[in-house]
Amino acid sequence: MDIFNMRLTTYILLLIGTLAFVPDILIAQSFTIGDKVPDIKASHVINSDNSELSFSDYKGKMIILDFWGTGCTACIKAFPKIDSLQEEFKDKIQIIAINQESKDSTLKFLQKHKRIKLPKIPFITQDTLISKLFPHKFVPHHVWIDSSNRVRFITNDNNTSKENLARYFENQLAQLKSKKDVIDFDNSKLIVAEGNGRWANKAIYYSSLLHGLPGLQAGGGLIKPNHFRRNGSIVDLLKIAFTNNGDEELIDLNFESPLAIDLQVKDKFQYVIPADLQKREYWWENYGYFYEVMVPMERSKDIFKFMQQELMRYFNLDVSVKKRKMKCLALVKLDPKKKIKNNVNSFNDSVEYNRYNIPLKLFPSYLTRELNWNRSSYFPPIINYTGTTEDSLDIKISTEAIEKRATLDQLRKELRKCNLDLVERECLTNVLVIKEME
């Protein structure tokens, strides 16, 4: 065997020999309730006759570890209580205070704050081991280790009380509420993203506004009565927020026509999805938005009011609904004495705009949106003048009627089969006014 291999073999044997004498405690990651704790030795002890201690020094007693810090006011305020408990149960318990600060800095702190009276218990300073064996993030943090060296409780300091100790020694204390700090919490992450979304089910109220997500189409709506999300333009989001504001007097709001929106802003391009497809990609990256809000279920009726407030605050806008006279298309009954009919079986077109059981109060908005989709010149809003909002309608509108919308002749022909028609009128209607704040 050459010299190199001999040396290598020697080093390996030495390493194996060294590991054989490493205490199990140094290999263990942490202890939890029910685990047996080996004899732990500590140095840098103050407030004691000895500068070192071992858990075995307190054989036959329960050991209560009190993790604290000089910056913890609650820990220091509890010192009198700790002193009292140690005195009352001195034959049965030993409380040991532990911090991770250096011995020097701890002594300097105590010297500076001479009014702090330490309880008559040993204090382990500059701890590097025990805190790792009983990991925690916040102090005070208490660990009860029974006389057989098993971890009984890991709990808050308020549970270390005269009453609980008395019950424990009378065998009447089966459990205490456990203290479970989130050790791996990542403060650099949004709360909804932290821990791979582990807190999502605890959300009571939540909202977010992101730049438009490119992999999603424009659109969205209510996921549940208390949960809304949508990908779209600023105007699109505001239209929905103010159309669904819960006011009965505004139940027929129809902002689907751009003519019903008064956009008082410097750059209108930022507010509306462009009709020019060549500009869409750039627009989505810079001016598209994804908005989401969730409110408590009992506040579901107010979800769009929350949305209004948040959008106005974020975009620094003053948004209101105003009554104005303007030309509109009135949806009327052909024969006021007859009922509105369905036209589901009135034609068979390969591509149709279908709506089944659509409430009549929503139909004008739907029709206005279809007529104005992807156009550079716009139709006025359609307003319900049928005299009813309670009826619902099963209706199919052919592709031809939408594509030949310039004259509305084909559309009116198909509406007449339902006892409906569109006529031009001067209306006092609602306009959504969007104004940039100074």
Residue 95 burial (10 A CB sphere; 0-12, 13-18, 19+) = buried
Sequence-ordered strand ranges (E) for 304-351: 317-333
* Mean pLDDT along residues 212-221: 80
Q: Which of 321, 336, 362 is the last residue of a domain?
A: 321
Q: Looking at the predicted structure, is the pLDDT value of residue 110 above 80?
A: yes
Identify whether residues 300 and 399 lie together within a single domain. Answer: no
Q: Which of 365, 372, 382, 381 is nearest to 406 (CA)?
A: 372
Note whether 150 and 8 are same-domain residues: yes
Average pLDDT in the 263-273 region? 96
Joined together, the tokens standing for residue 311 give 């959008």
* Cα 156 from Cα 180, distance rounded (Å): 9
Higher-scoring residue by pLDDT: 375, 129: 129
- Closest-CA residue to 294 (of 185, 434, 192, 186): 192
Q: Residue 131 belongs to what domain range?
A: 3-169
Domain final position from 278, 299, 321 = 321
- In this predicted structure, the answer to whether residue 119 has a pLDDT above a threshold of 90 is yes
| Average pLDDT value for residue range 337-359 | 67
Cβ contacts of 195 within 8 Å, gap of 6 or more: 184, 185, 186, 189
For residues 316 and 378, state if they share a domain: no
120 and 87 Cβ atoms separated by less than 8 Å: yes
| 18 band by pLDDT with thresholds 50, 70 and 90 | very low
**What confidence tens digit (pLDDT) does each residue in 43-97 have?**
999 999 999 999 999 999 999 999 999 999 999 999 999 999 999 999 999 999 9
Looking up tokens 């700090």, which residue turns up?
A: 181
Instruction: Tell the residue number behind the tokens 């004691």, with chain if given.
Output: 48
Rounded Cα distance, 319 and 339, in Å: 38
Is pLDDT above 80 for 258?
Answer: yes
Amino acid at 15: L
180 lies in a domain?
no
Q: What is the residue type of 97? A: A
330 strand-pairing partners = 383, 423
Same domain? For 351 and 405 the reply is yes
- Are 294 and 368 part of one and the same domain? no
Q: Higher pLDDT residue, 9 or 337?
A: 337
Please give the pLDDT value at position 373. Answer: 77
Among 184-188, 204-208, 233-237, 349-353, name the one with the lowest average pLDDT: 349-353
N-terminal to C-terminal alpha carbon distance within the chain: 87
Helix (H, G, I), strand (E, B) or coil at 121: coil
**22 CB-near residues (< 8 Å, 6+ apart):** none
Quote the number of domains for the chain: 3
**293, 348: one domain:** no
Across the range 133-159, mean pLDDT stands at 97
Is residue 135 situated within a structural domain? yes
pLDDT greater than 50 at residue 248? no
Q: How far is CA 4 from each of CA 8, 17, 27, 169, rounded to the nearest angstrom?
A: 6, 20, 31, 63
Residue 367 vs residue 64, higher pLDDT = 64
Residue 12: C-alpha distances to residues 16, 24, 81 (Å):
6, 20, 53
Share of the chain above pLDDT 70, in %: 87
Residue 212 has pLDDT above 60, yes or no: yes
Structure tokens at 394: 């099963």
Residues 295 and 333 in one domain: no
313 has a pLDDT exceeding 50: yes
| Same domain as 9, residue 146 | yes
**Ordered DSSP codes for 53-86:** EEGGGGTTSEEEEEE--TT-HHHHHTHHHHHHHH
Is the domain of 16 the same as that of 161? yes
> Residue 185 pLDDT more than 70?
yes
CA distance 432 to 260: 6
Of 358 and 156, the one with more pLDDT: 156
Do 302 and 382 reside in the same domain of the chain?
A: no
Whether residues 301 and 340 share a domain: the answer is: no
Say if residue 36 is in the same domain as residue 163: yes
The phi, psi pair for 420, rounded to 5°, reads: -130, 160
